[in-house]
Chain A
């Protein structure tokens, strides 16, 4: 059997058989799913029902408070009576008291509670109802608006949507920023995590001295490549399992919360129609609709719907393909350099002087990410996504925003062209350095090893 295959096999199976591999494989998608699912579940979960007494000395709010799914409002005649009731009955949670003022409209209202604070939703709901009722009073009574004008005025809701003029597709800028940053971070973490595993593996072989036996059977280059490929396959296995698990989890959420996805896709197709100009729509929710929605407990945060809607519009097959490409080649590039760094040193502390300069391009790109997402087609973004050492992180950040094909192709070709160079240089350093002990290596040594052309196996 081919010896490189044997090395690959060992590197792969010793890692995949570890418990830590499986823990990481299972925990990461669960964490991600929680980040995604918890807000949705919290938003749809019914809260404990609260009872609130209203004491209105102004008379402006009489009969105006609307009870909802989670809160019931009851009117009380005087504050003293209400206080006594609150003290007496545990089922009451709070009092909203609006004291009268001589001449002007009320400025302050009070939320009285017993010993424990009422739930946050009571505060926010009471606050927004107070605000709304007072505004209604001013508009209808003081300014004498007609109910039609009033409805129109209070239901205005305008949203700025981004749209590609050529494809007519919705932009979902914020979703793209999030996806871009996640992709960039993910490839950065992956390249580092598996790259440093290669370095530690090389150092393990060197410090345990087993390398001396192994290089009698396999060429140092074969050993290095076997390690790089084996650990790379571990990385790919991990991703494959993550995608599968994450897919299963998303499916689970879709099945249990089908309504949510239904709405998102409907809204998505609506905007698609609107964008084709066949229908000039402007939607507005009436007060009643909003109340109805509120009653039905569908007051889900709009941003989550946007997120789901935006995600539905992203080409995930393309993203997964490009992610795999940039991970594989970015990893090959860096892992071989990490292998060379590992071969130069006897312990992890010394490795810093070699790994730090190697990682500067990636770390720099990561630091520039926040400004790059602001201008995904700006000069810095374009250059960094084409230069091989920074392109894996920079290009993946840009992908969700749409990148001209020639830039993607150029970036990919440059990366493909660079990695044999890196491996060549790394192998040259590795094969000489792996058997050197005791001397502290310096960058000058690296240069010497690169220049020296001694035929060694």
Chain B
């Protein structure tokens, strides 16, 4: 589905990504793990073509990614935001139309989603009247509305209460069943362990560990992902210092 080949990206003198290679298999949930500032968000922005790499290529379905491919991506950024003064329904339709849906389809699908998440009564409310968790639900809907084949969730559970986090988890798994490929960046190892098929651990701009979750766990018997994460990060950080 998505192959990242030898990507390098610097901002001034700061190297955000350094020779990164990754492969995301179709129909799987891919966990993008790593400490703060490791380069996860930069990688996601490169995939979305918000910024361009210094070198390397990103292949989408085997060909270099194009703006048309980006339209098939649904992206939920970590720092979430909506227009505060706009009404929920109006705003969702606008964002869906920017993703290429026509107005009536957008409206139809939105009502379906809003019904399922039991938020249809918010349709005419202004975004600023909603709580942060409510806004995140709305954003989640906007992200998946155009039936993207690739979904990128950056820290999707942050800010959600346990009930809604669980609801979201189910929705993510449902989307996977429907055939979507999901890239999912997080610090939350238990949820990564629960959802991911493959993972990649990025530290200091490099991929330090990657592969199917099952294989990684088999190599580290008796350790949970948290432990593996901490050990790997410490190991690679001291390696950098030497």
Chain A residues near B (Cβ < 8 Å): 1, 3, 6-7, 10, 14, 204-205, 207-218, 435, 437, 454-457
Q: Is the CB of B51 within 8 A of A208?
A: no
Q: Closest CB of chain B to A410's CB: distance in Å? A: 41
A219–B142 Cα distance when bound, in Å, is: 19
- Residues in B whose Cβ lies below 8 Å from that of A210: 81-83
- Residues in B whose Cβ lies below 8 Å from that of A1: 97, 102
Q: Is the CB of A456 within 8 A of B52?
A: yes
- Residues in A whose Cβ lies below 8 Å from that of B50: 212, 215-216, 435, 456-457
Partner of B48 from A209, A211, A216 at Cβ < 8 Å: A216
A209–B82 Cα distance when bound, in Å, is: 7
- Residues in B whose Cβ lies below 8 Å from that of A211: 81
Question: Can you report 29 residue pairs joining A to B where beta carbons are below 8 Å apart?
Answer: A3-B98, A6-B97, A6-B98, A7-B98, A204-B83, A207-B81, A208-B84, A209-B77, A209-B80, A210-B81, A212-B50, A213-B142, A215-B48, A216-B48, A216-B49, A216-B50, A216-B73, A217-B71, A217-B95, A217-B100, A435-B45, A435-B50, A435-B51, A437-B79, A454-B52, A456-B50, A456-B52, A457-B49, A457-B52
Segment 178-230 of B: residues with Cβ below 8 Å from A: none
Q: Closest CB of chain A to B9's CB: distance in Å? A: 10
CB-based closest 8 A-B pairs: A209-B81, A208-B81, A217-B98, A209-B79, A210-B81, A212-B77, A216-B48, A456-B52
Output the nearest chain A residue to B51 by Cβ-Cβ distance.
A456
Task: State whether A213 and B83 are in contact (beta carbons under 8 Å apart), knowing that A456-B51, A456-B52 are contacts in the complex.
Answer: no
- Residues in B whose Cβ lies below 8 Å from that of A10: 94
A218–B50 Cα distance when bound, in Å, is: 10
- Residues in A whose Cβ lies below 8 Å from that of B119: none
Output the nearest chain B residue to A201 by Cβ-Cβ distance.
B83
Q: How many A-B residue pairs have CB under 8 A?
A: 70
**Interface residue SS majority, chain A:** helix
A1–B142 Cα distance when bound, in Å, is: 19
User: Range of interface residues on chain B?
Assistant: 20 to 34
A210–B135 Cα distance when bound, in Å, is: 12
Name the residue in B83, B84, B143 with the highest tally of chain A Cβ atoms < 10 Å from its Cβ. Answer: B83
Partner of A14 from B70, B82, B85 at Cβ < 8 Å: B85
- Residues in B whose Cβ lies below 8 Å from that of A204: 83-84
- Residues in A whose Cβ lies below 8 Å from that of B49: 216, 457
Task: State whether A216 and B52 are in contact (beta carbons under 8 Å apart), knowing that A6-B98, A208-B82 are contacts in the complex.
Answer: no
> B130: CB under 8 A from chain A?
no
- Residues in B whose Cβ lies below 8 Å from that of A456: 50-52
A154–B17 Cα distance when bound, in Å, is: 94
Segment 64-98 of B: residues with Cβ below 8 Å from A: 67, 70-71, 73, 75, 77, 79-86, 94-95, 97-98
A1–B93 Cα distance when bound, in Å, is: 13
- Residues in A whose Cβ lies below 8 Å from that of B100: 217
Output the nearest chain A residue to B135 by Cβ-Cβ distance.
A208
- Residues in A whose Cβ lies below 8 Å from that of B85: 14
Interface bits B16-57 vs A (CB < 8 Å: 1, else 0): 000000000000000000000000000001001111100000
Q: Is the CB of A455 within 8 A of B80?
A: no
A207–B79 Cα distance when bound, in Å, is: 10
A435–B75 Cα distance when bound, in Å, is: 15
- Residues in A whose Cβ lies below 8 Å from that of B73: 216
Q: Closest CB of chain A to B127's CB: distance in Å? A: 9
